[in-house]
A and B are shown apart, each in its own frame.
Chain A
Amino acid sequence: AQKVTQAQTEISVVEKEDVTLDCVYETRDTTYYLFWYKQPPSGELVFLIRRNSFDEQNEISGRYSWNFQKSTSSFNFTITASQVVDSAVYFCALSEGSSASKIIFGSGTRLSIRP
């Protein structure tokens, strides 16, 4: 069975601090994709990254970085030097090779950046 767990329900940090959002997934497929989405108060989900199961290289995009470790089934997301505009709910998600149409979302982590 496929599952995505985001154990951190809410995180609050002061601006300019670094923050890591955890994501642990479960799947029996050897081919799968992992995603991170941001949902600001407006409600629209914003795509941040997609990573396939055969590519364990970590990725950095500006202040954002992602650490994919198959050995621990984790796909963590770090924001460096956080800013107030980073405040949002962040979702980790999984799509399996056997079911391309469906994306399974975690329950989300609400991130609040205090000035």
Chain B
Amino acid sequence: ETGVTQSPTHLIKTRGQQVTLRCSSQSGHNTVSWYQQALGQGPQFIFQYYREEENGRGNFPPRFSGLQFPNYSSELNVNALELDDSALYLCASSLEPSHNEQFFGPGTRLTVL
């Protein structure tokens, strides 16, 4: 186990709703990255937070937003859910936002109906 935890494990929402996913980073890690993994595909980078500031963003619309708290835990918020948002959402923590190893959590499986 990596020490990175995510909640909830599974979630079912309907189109148009909003969702918040949570991640607790490994002890001592100040950087959290979020990824979306659709079925049968590799993870795609959503964004990264470093010391409570966004530090890089992938090709995702503004309805995907995030927060990082002083204890370095993080939230991913998705507004106006669409069917294509159904995926496994992975959180990864690292010591610094460099090329250090990223430790992944078990993920949150989101289903949008």
Contacts and interface: CB of A to CB of B under 8 A. Distances in A.
A91 B33 contact: no
Interface in A93-115: 93, 95, 97, 99-108
A50 interface: yes
Contacts of B98: 100
Contact-size category for B: 20 to 34
Most chain B Cβ neighbours within 10 Å, of A4, A44, A50: A44
A102 B56 contact: yes
Contacts, number: 62
A99 B43 contact: no
B106 A42 contact: yes
B104 interface: yes
A43 B87 CA distance: 12
Interface of B: 2, 31, 33, 35, 40-45, 48, 50, 55-56, 58, 88, 90, 92, 97-99, 101-107, 109
Interface of A: 4, 33, 37, 42-47, 50, 52, 91, 93, 95, 97, 99-108
